[in-house]
Amino acid sequence: MSEESSKLAEKIVGVLKTIFDPEIPVDIYELGLIYDVFVNENNDIKILMTLTTPNCPVAETLPMEVEEKVKSIDEVNDATVEITFDPPWTQELMSEEAKLELGML
């Protein structure tokens, strides 16, 4: 990944940290819902993410919110979100910060 792509990926992570799961007071990045962020040479972004459960109440709206917020970054040409449940989300994927926030440490 080029230095430019790395800087853009950092910006994207910053934006992802402003999006919260409505049921858990922790951002989706620290929750471990973001599996990967791909940046191509055209600054098209693909985000591979999961939800806490397949029938999560925000299954329709959360991916759209992620796409819209990432597209709002000036350098981003386009953004798509792909939802996967492989591997399924578990509490093990949460950052130490998230576990601390939720009183799990």
Q: 67 near 78, Cβ under 8 Å? A: no
- For residue 35, give the H/E element and its range: strand 34-39
Q: What is the pLDDT of residues 47-60, one digit of tens each?
A: 999 998 888 888 88
Rounded CA separation 46/94 (Å): 21
Gap between the Cα atoms of 65 and 101, Å rounded:
23
Peptide linkage before 63 cis (omega within 30 of 0): no
Domains and CATH numbers, the chain: 3-89 (3.30.300.130)
Q: How many CB atoms lie within 10 A of CB 8?
A: 20
At residue 74, what is the residue type?
D
Which tens digits make up the pLDDT trace of 12-42? 999 999 999 888 889 999 999 999 999 999 9
Residue 25 is encoded by which pair of tokens? Answer: 């007071």
